[in-house]
Amino acid sequence: MKYYVLFGPPGAGKGTFAKLLVENHGYYHISTGDMLRKEIAAGSELGLKAKDLIEKGNLVPDDVVCGMIRSEFAANGGVRGFLLDGFPRTVAQAEALDKMLSDMGDELTRVVSIYITDEEVRRRIKGRALVENRADDADDEIISTRIKNYHEKTEPVIQYYKAQGKYFEVIADGTIPENYAKVEALVD
C-alpha cells in the first residue's frame, strides 16, 4: 500500500492536486479539512468543537484528527493507496501516523511538499473564499493566524521527514498543470 502526504501551507493546492491524482491514478484522498467541514455541517459534537477552533484559525486536537485518519484507513483498505491532505500538521501527528502505519505493517511512502510564499497563501485563500464561499478563508486575521500556525506548528514536520529521507519539495510557481506535473512525478 502507498501512503503519501501532500504537505504545504493553506492554499498551496493540496486539495486540487489530490483530486487530480485520484482521477488519474486511483488513490483515495483523505482531507482532514473536508472531514471536519462535513462534521460541522452535520452539527455533530465533533463538528461543534471543531467549528469554534477553525473559525479562529486554530488546529483541531491531535487525538481527534488521528482517530479520524485511523477510521478512514480501516474503512477503505481495498484502495491502491492513500493521499493525506492536511495531516500531519504537527510533529506529534507525524509520530502518531508513523506508529499507526507501523501497527498496520506499513510505512509512509513519501511527503510531497508544495511550497508557496506567505503572500501567495494570502492571495490564493482570498480567491478560494470567493469561489467556495468559505468564511474562514475571507478574514485577514484568521488567515494570519493560519499562516502563523503553519510556520510554528507545521513546518517542524519538514525536518522530521527530511531526517527519514521521505521529504520532497515542489516549488509551485507555475500554472496548475505545470505544478501538478511536478507533484505527479513525485507520487507515481
Q: Which pLDDT does position 115 carry in this prediction?
A: 95
Q: What is the mean pLDDT of residues 19-33?
A: 92
Task: Please say if the pLDDT value at position 182 is more than 80.
Answer: yes
What CATH number should be reported for the domain whose range is 2-172?
3.40.50.300
Least confident of 43-57, 61-75, 120-134, 153-167: 43-57
Q: Is the confidence at residue 58, as pLDDT, over 80? A: no
Q: How confident is the model at residue 12 (pLDDT cuts 50, 70, 90)?
A: very high
Q: What is the pLDDT of residue 177?
A: 96
Asked which of 4-13, 23-32, 135-144 is least confident by mean pLDDT, the reply is 135-144
Instruction: Locate 143 and state its grid cell.
Output: 488567515
Q: Residue 169 — φ and ψ, nearest 5°?
A: -115, 140
For 95, the 3-state DSSP assignment is helix
Mean pLDDT over 59-75 rounds to: 83
Task: Choose between 38 and 30: higher pLDDT.
Answer: 30
Cβ neighbours for 61, distance < 8 A, ≥ 6 positions apart? none
> Phi-psi category of 26—alpha, beta or left, where left has phi over 0 and alpha has psi -120 to 50?
left
Q: Is residue 78 very low, low, confident or very high in pLDDT (cuts 50, 70, 90)?
A: confident
Say what the pLDDT of residue 49 is. Answer: 79
- Distance, in Å, from the CA atom of 135 to the CA atom of 98, rounded to the nearest integer, reads 33
Beta-carbon count within 10 A of 131 CB: 8
**Considering Cα of 14, then 30, then 19, then 140, what sign does the dihedral take?**
negative
According to the model, what pLDDT value does residue 83 have?
96
Poorest-pLDDT segment among 5-9, 39-43, 50-54: 50-54
**How much of the chain, in percent, has pLDDT values that exceed 90?**
55
Helix (H) / strand (E) containing 163: helix 156-163
pLDDT at 133 over 80: no
What's the pLDDT at 164? 97
The domain limits of the chain are 2-172
Count the alpha carbons within 13 Å of 125 in the hemisphere toward its beta carbon: 24
Confidence of residue 129 (pLDDT cuts 50, 70, 90): confident
Q: What is the mean pLDDT of residues 64-92?
A: 88
